Amino acid sequence: MDTTNSVSITGGGYTAQISLLGGQLLNLSHLEDELIVPAAQTEGAFAGAVLAPWPNRTKGASYTYAGVEHLLPVNEEATGAALHGLLIDTPLRVVSQKESEVQLAGWLESSEGYPFGLEIALTYRVSADLGLAATLMARYQPEELADPSLEEDTDAAEPEGEATDPNDRGVDELDAGDADLETSDAAEPEADPADTDQNEAAQPEAEDSDNGDQGAAEEDATLEPELTASVGEDGETAPAEATVAGVDAHGSETDESETRLADLDPEEAASAHAAAPRTAPFGAGFHPYLTAGGAPLKECRLRLPARTMLKTKADGSVTGRKSVSADFDLTNGPLLAGRRIDHAFTDLPEEGWTAELVHGPSGFVVRMIADTPWVQVYTGERIDRAGVAVEPMTCPPNALNSGEDLIHLEPGTWFRVGYSIEAIRMD
């Protein structure tokens, strides 16, 4: 982890450090208290990482899209899965930086396992009203359509201050709180196909997501969606939202026959790569480990309004779902002492949701706001329970294979998702 190749922002009592490699959130504090476990203390645990173009695990590090099977790099040897996407190793550049805000941009190159070039824009902002607001934007740019002048055009963009009119905004105003954009619907709960939760029987090192865990966009007059921060009347950040304009919810057409690129001769493989799919499969998430100023988890409560949880195998494959109960019912903010959780939750409020880590003795609260249809919760056994990972996700584990809530990016269409974290002190 290269913490020297990073930028810092400060405002409203908040300080954040962001890596230029994948836009990883390295540190976040308010006054003297840490709000996330510093990434330097969690080597290999994806702490603070931005997860794209898929969050969580892809079973067997392979998936089929538009009739072609793709083989991803295996980065979790114990399960043979591809974990948390490719962005974490992607260099980003600073497009614009102010004291309290930084805008990053980069290009996720197409590869054998993911032959879809993506333009990436990432913004972090801190303020007294919002806490930390983070926004990820991505759009599919097939290589034959990519603009070679993209970098020059993007670097030339300079924001002109905060936007106030929601109808007069540009991509420079990227943020995690625009309540005018459409959101993905949360998945409907299904009947429980089995009485035994396979996750509960698995060791934390082989659970669903985290225990195995190892910039501003082109200034284009046609960019959609336009973004800005949104603060409600109560002063809280409006939930971060996501939209994919003009994309069918069921994605692109697929061919019943499946083709492995590895089985083709060089000319056929080149031809398959040249014929870029009409859409790109995409999912995203964020991976902060929340901490209430470093307080032990056994003294903290976690509140999350999710009503359904997945049952998965260690490799990320989903075997069913069930209503939350017992140790996995977080709706009333139970004490985390003795609870071991590493599960994906859904059936969240469609208008957005709030998760709160509450330190009982002091009343100190770390609040996350997001509007994704999924969230992974992991009680951090891999990092000695130094914090609890609360990971907003646009799709469940293994979505590249199941297709559930998978986003299908059309060329040139922006997708946006974000979250916020703030500190609340009881006076």
User: Is residue 76 predicted with pLDDT exceeding 80?
Assistant: yes
Least reliable range by pLDDT among 25-29, 225-229, 403-407: 225-229
pLDDT confidence tier of residue 265, bands split at 50, 70 and 90: low
> 278-306, pLDDT tens digit by residue?
999 999 999 999 999 999 999 999 999 99
The domain defined by 6-185+209-294+379-422 carries CATH number 3.90.660: no
Compute the distance between CA of residue 375 and CA of residue 357 in angstroms, rounded to an integer. Answer: 15
User: Is residue 383 predicted with pLDDT exceeding 80?
Assistant: yes
3-state secondary structure of 280: strand
Most confident of 142-146, 253-257, 419-423: 419-423
User: Is residue 195 predicted with pLDDT exceeding 50?
Assistant: no
Of 245, 298, 252, 316, the residue nearest 279 (C-alpha): 252
pLDDT confidence tier of residue 426, bands split at 50, 70 and 90: confident
Compute the distance between CA of residue 371 and CA of residue 223 in angstroms, rounded to an integer. Answer: 22
pTM exceeds 0.85: no
> 303-328, pLDDT tens digit by residue?
999 999 999 999 999 999 999 999 99
What is the per-residue pLDDT for 26? 98
What is the per-residue pLDDT for 168? 35
pLDDT confidence tier of residue 362, bands split at 50, 70 and 90: very high
Task: Calculate the average pLDDT of the chain.
Answer: 78
3-state secondary structure of 338: coil
What is the per-residue pLDDT for 125? 98
What is the per-residue pLDDT for 19? 98
Contacts of 325 (CB under 8 A, 6+ apart): none
